[in-house]
Structure 1
């Protein structure tokens, strides 16, 4: 096991005291507004380059909302160390500078002075993102002008859309000197009603439910759609959770993040409400088929002991993989789509919009993504529909398919569920290269 190192790292003439692990890194808090303090942790690329600014900066956003990028995204998915504290073979740090951002405020090591400072809308999250990036560039001015890409998984993909809009506005106003080139929406919660309405058809086609189970799921899903159309957004979120209960009952607890497996049946009755069960699952952002190895550390313990001490996190801040308050405060926004924002970016900017999806995912199912993609109103819509769907070959293995036109592209990734970078690193390399030319 690679023991973590408390070291003094020399980074371009600057000193970072109390780093975690043998990798060049920087981290800090930025007060994005009164009472709201956001934490970022960036690892400098290990690529063989003259200077690390020769490679792009990628910001990784976890889902939920309320999932921690510094913990889940870093140690469980694509950071330099895995949960055995061994170097990860497929870490993105090999090709990019990677920032893990605990976002929205209240998530992970980010914190608020009072719950009233939590965000309630996607746009508020985006405005906070602009502020934290301003703070990052103040602390690290060498990254001004370096190509910036935002990669968001699940709800992180939804957040990335409004972040791109607000970042481009700030760039044009001259209030930030970033160079946003593209965003990626990975298994993203872009159009929640579309996703929910496709759970039943996908499970029926896969043979995981019978006709009665399908009808029960669809009845619940259509109720969620009706509540949304009536503007009863909080109630629609509750009905979304009730639809998940119907899925669990019809499939004996299929895993929403990988339909080839199922979640464990509790040995004792689960006293949580449908909403609480669904909320905790969305924040967890990890398929149950990912076994916990005996040599893995407990993430919650790691983050609240060695990592917290090494990074100098304030004593009163407790890292948690379940930021329930963050999720609860977003309930009114949870079921709202961000397709209007995607159309705005496609029609008014040159920002690359990349959509990738693991084909084993249920919560953000590929059929649900295709529904909203096909409805997009943008200048290249017809040309995109006519564009060929090409195979993705990596080392003589078919890893999926892609389709692209202009600054929009869609990647179907095989043998992957909700978290494509963890499930299929080879397929991941394909869409990283497509957007950044590295990977």
Structure 2
């Protein structure tokens, strides 16, 4: 650890010109509302092209809500450098310009001057995102009109739906010069009740619980559903967290992000079920990982002690310090689905709608995704259901399956949990190429 910190310190001293690492980049703040400031970090593609704008712009959204794209998404999943500051050979900037956004406001390096300015609904998040993108295009006009794709993981996938609606609305009104061509929802929190109700069946089928454990999980999940149906949305969120607690107990602490991961059996008792669930989602780390886990500690250290001074982040901003509040302010919206928004996009736009899922994920499990997909009401619904599922071959390996009709497609990705781009880069290439023609 001491050697790693020494290396990090040396590298940070070489970033005095206002960037972190050797990759071409831009970053900045956009005031999306008075007192609400959002941070973005753009990495230009390293593809061998005459101009950066010969390749599309991809926005990456982390989950949570409260998970940092500039931190977790960048250094842990698909950015040019990993947590050891080693080059990542499957980074997305090899083919795309990638814009990491700390979203919703209050996440990562984004901040509000008063917590009352935090968002409470998905639509408020989307409206802030449109303002963020207006500011981004003002700072980087070269990207106006360039194909734009939004990729969101977990809660980021949920946010992407309303963002697409608001972005298309702004494009049609002529108030933003973007060219949104598609969104991708990766292991996304689209229909939370469906996801929660399928935890038990998946765990039973995988042999991770017995019948008694299955029934205990389902009883708790059905209570979350009941509360939701009665309009008790905050109580439903709390019951969802309690259901996670039942799952942990009955499985001896299964990893919600990959059911095959071997996990420690100890369960911290100093925090509530909701706090434990919140911390897992914000940090994109399995339940049971202590908060001083070396990987989490290194990311916090890097962002606050190396990245922050290198990029000239204001002294008063502490990376991640408002993330818990971001999650808490969304409690009333957390369990609400966004399937109506997906139907609106399918019925009224030509935007490509991609759903991809790592088959080893539990929290946003594949069975729960299929339930809401099969209920979608759009002209191509029956044709999609009747379409043949095709295999995904990459380098002579079966990486998963896909099914598509019109502008909707579903990708099942093998040997991958919650963070598909990190767990199975080869499988990820399939849905990247399908949407963008690159990858």
Give the distance between the partners of 1:76 and 1:96, measured in 2 at CA: 18
Deviates more, 1:114-123 or 1:280-289: 280-289
Contact 1:67 1:321 in 2 (8 A): no
Change (3 A) 1:293 1:438: farther
Instruction: Give the Å deviation of 1:34.
Output: 1.1
- Whether 1:280 aligns to 2:296 is no
Query: What TM-score, normalized by structure 2, do the two folds share?
Result: 0.95
Give the distance between the partners of 1:146 and 1:127, measured in 2 at CA: 21
Q: Look up the match of 2:173.
A: 173
Contact 1:60 1:98 in 2 (8 A): yes
Give the distance between the partners of 1:143 and 1:129, measured in 2 at CA: 16
Change (3 A) 1:17 1:133: farther
Deviates more, 1:242-251 or 1:320-329: 320-329
Instruction: Give the Å deviation of 1:427.
Output: 0.2
Per-residue deviation, residues 352-388 of structure 1 (Å, max 9, x unmatched): 0000000000000000000000000001000000111
- Whether 1:106 aligns to 2:97 is no
Give the distance between the partners of 1:55 and 1:258, measured in 2 at CA: 33
Alpha carbon RMSD of aligned pairs, Å? 2.0
Structure 2: where are the runs of 5+ without partners? 1-6
Change (3 A) 1:136 1:411: same
SS of equivalent residue, structure 1 residue 417: coil
Q: Look up the match of 1:11.
A: none
Change (3 A) 1:324 1:337: same
Give the distance between the partners of 1:290 and 1:277, measured in 2 at CA: 10
Give the distance between the partners of 1:287 and 1:335, measured in 2 at CA: 21
- Whether 1:119 aligns to 2:126 is no
Give the distance between the partners of 2:28 and 2:145, measured in 1 at CA: 20
Per-residue deviation, residues 206-232 of structure 1 (Å, max 9, x unmatched): 000000000000000000000000000
Equivalences for 1:14-163 in 2 at 5 Å? 17-163=17-163
Give the distance between the partners of 1:95 and 1:4, measured in 2 at CA: 26
Give the distance between the partners of 1:31 and 1:180, measured in 2 at CA: 22
SS of equivalent residue, structure 1 residue 202: helix
Instruction: Give the Å deviation of 1:193.
Output: 0.1
SS of equivalent residue, structure 2 residue 11: coil
| Alignment partner of 2:11 out of 4, 8, 19 | 4
Query: What TM-score, normalized by structure 1, do the two folds share?
Result: 0.95
Q: Which has the higher helix share?
A: 2
Q: Look up the match of 1:361.
A: 361
Give the distance between the partners of 1:295 and 1:173, measured in 2 at CA: 45
Change (3 A) 1:295 1:332: closer
Instruction: Give the Å deviation of 1:320.
Output: 2.0
Q: Which runs of 4+ in 1 moved over 4 A?
A: 5-8, 287-297
Contact 1:284 1:322 in 2 (8 A): no
Q: Look up the match of 1:331.
A: 331
Instruction: Give the Å deviation of 1:271.
Output: 1.5
Contact 1:352 1:408 in 2 (8 A): yes
Change (3 A) 1:419 1:322: farther
Contact 2:106 2:322 in 1 (8 A): no
- Whether 1:374 aligns to 2:374 is yes
Q: Which has the higher strand share?
A: 1
Equivalences for 1:291-370 in 2 at 5 Å? 298-320=298-320, 323-370=323-370
The total of aligned residue pairs comes to 431
Q: Look up the match of 1:13.
A: none
Equivalences for 1:208-247 in 2 at 5 Å? 208-247=208-247
Per-residue deviation, residues 237-284 of structure 1 (Å, max 9, x unmatched): 0000111111011100000000012443337x5111111111111112
Deviates more, 1:147-156 or 1:16-25: 16-25
Instruction: Give the Å deviation of 1:296.
Output: 10
Deviates more, 1:313-322 or 1:62-71: 313-322
Q: Look up the match of 1:403.
A: 403
Per-residue deviation, residues 84-132 of structure 1 (Å, max 9, x unmatched): 1111100000000001100001100000000000000000000000000
Per-residue deviation, residues 317-370 of structure 1 (Å, max 9, x unmatched): 001288110000000000000000000000000000000000000000000000
Deviates more, 1:28-37 or 1:283-292: 283-292
Change (3 A) 1:5 1:272: closer
Give the distance between the partners of 2:352 and 2:13, measured in 1 at CA: 39
